[in-house]
Amino acid sequence: MSSSDPFQELVDAVRQAILATSPSPTASNPSPPPAPSPIVNNASSPLPVVCPMVRTTPYSGAAGDCKGFLLQCSITFATYPQVYNSDSSKIGYLISCLTGTALRWAESIWNQAGPPVNTYAAFTRHFMEVFGRIDQETSAGEELYHFRQGTLSIQEYSVKFRTLAASSGWNEMALLTTYRQGLEPNLRMMLAPYDDSMGLERFIQMTIRCAARISSYSNSSMSTGGASPGPPADHSPPEQPLEPMQVDSRRLTPQERQRRLSLGLCLYCGQSSHQIRDCPTRPVRPLVSTILPIYEKLNPFTSNVILTANDVSFTVAALIDSGSAGNFISGALAQRLGLQTTPTEVKYHVQSITGQSLSKKDVKHRAGPIHLQIGQCHEEEIWLLVLEGSTIDVVLGRPWLARHNPILSWGSGEIMKWGDTCWPECFPKLPLRSTVSITMCSTTIESPIEKQSVNIPPCYSSFQDVFCPKRAARLPPHRPWDCAIDLLPDASVPQGRIFPLSIPETKAMEEYIQEALKQGYIRPSTSPAASSFFFVAKKDGGLRPCIDYRALNEGTVKFKYPLPLVPAAIEKLRGAKVFTKLDLRSAYNLIRIRKGDEWKTAFITPTGHYEYRVMPYGLVNAPSVFQNFMHEIFRDYLHQFMIIYIDDLLIYSTNLSEHHQQVTKVLQRLREHNLYLKAEKCTFHQSSVQFLGYFIDHTGVKMDESKVKAIVNWPTPTTVKSLQKFLGFSNFYRRFINNYSTIASPLTSMLKGKPKTLTWTPEASQTFQQLKQAFITAPILAHPDPQLPFVVEVDASTTGVGAVLSQQQQQGKSPELHPCAYFSKKLSQAERNYDIGNRELLAIKLALEEWRHWLEGSIHPFQVLTDHKNLQYLRDAKRLTPRQARWALFFTRFQFSISYRPGSKNVRADALSRIHSPEETPEPIEPILPEKIFVNPIQWTTPPVASEPAPEAPPDCPPHRRFVPPDERIPLIHSSHTSLGTGHPGTNRTLSLLQDRFWWPRMELDVQRYVRGCRECAMSKSPRHLPSGKLVPLRVPNRPWSHLGVDFITDLPPSEGVTVSLSSGYHPQTNGQTERKIQEVGRFLRTFCTSHQDTWNQFLGWAEYAQNSLRQATTGLTPFQCILGFQPPLFPWTGEPSDVPSVDHWFRE
- In this structure, the answer to whether residues 617 and 549 fall within a common structural domain is yes
Same domain membership, residue 851 and residue 768: no
Contact 927, 820 (CB under 8 A): no
Rounded CA gap, 663 and 218, in Å? 49
C-alpha gyration radius of the chain? 48
For residue 486, tell me if it sits in a domain.
no
CA 846 to chain centre: 30
Residue 242 resides in a domain:
no
pTM of the predicted model as reported, rounded to 2 decimal places? 0.41
Domain-located, residue 617: yes
Specify burial of residue 298 (Cβ count, 10 A radius: 0-12, 13-18, 19+).
exposed
- Co-location of 949 and 1069 in the same domain: yes
Cβ atoms within 10 Å of 324's Cβ, excluding its own = 24
Integer Cα distance of 691 and 710 in angstroms = 17
In a shared domain, residues 800 and 847? yes
Which CATH number is 326's domain given? 2.40.70.10
Q: Within a domain: residue 530? A: yes
The span from the first CA to the last CA of the chain, in angstroms, equals: 110
Tell me: do 755 and 828 sit in the same domain. no
Domain assignment present for residue 1070? The answer is yes
Task: Answer yes or no: do 534 and 452 share one domain.
Answer: no
Give the largest CA-CA distance in the chain. 161
Contact residues for 405 (Cβ-Cβ < 8 A; gap 6+): 418, 419, 420, 421
* Cα dihedral 56, 57, 61, 63 in deg (nearest 10): -100
CATH of the domain at 1004: 1.10.340.70
Range of the domain at 215: 137-223
Give the model's pLDDT for residue 40.
38
Bridge partner list, 568 = none
Q: Do 953 and 976 fall within a single domain?
A: yes
- On whether residue 799 sits in a domain, the answer given is yes
Q: Report the pLDDT value the prediction gives residue 1149, as an integer from 0 to 100.
A: 56
Domain boundary, last residue among 223, 238, 266 = 223
Instruction: Indicate whether 79 and 51 sit together in one domain.
Output: yes
The pLDDT, as a whole number, for residue 672 is 86
- What CATH number does the domain containing 580 carry? 3.30.70.270
By the 8 A CB rule, do 456 and 588 touch? no
Residues 818 and 751 in one domain: no
Cβ contacts of 820 within 8 Å, gap of 6 or more: 781, 782, 783, 784, 790, 805, 806, 807
Q: Do residues 108 and 161 share a domain?
A: no
Task: Please choose, from the candidates 803, 835, 834, 781, the residue with its C-alpha nearest in 3D space to the C-alpha of residue 913.
Answer: 803
Question: Given CA atoms 961, 967, 969, 973 in this order, what sign does their dihedral have?
Answer: negative
Among 698, 723, 757, identify where a domain stops. Answer: 698
Instruction: Among 134, 169, 195, give the residue marking a domain's end.
Output: 134
Assigned domain for 56 exists: yes
Shared domain for 901 and 952, answered yes or no, is no
pLDDT of residue 1074: 73
Low-confidence ranges of the chain (pLDDT < 50): 1-4, 18, 20-52, 115, 220-250, 284-298, 429-453, 811-814, 907-908, 911-912, 914-923
CA dist., res. 207 & res. 298, Å (int) = 17
Q: How many domains does the chain have?
A: 7
Q: Is residue 236 part of a domain?
A: no
Query: Is residue 735 located within the same domain as residue 646?
Result: no
pLDDT at 615: 92
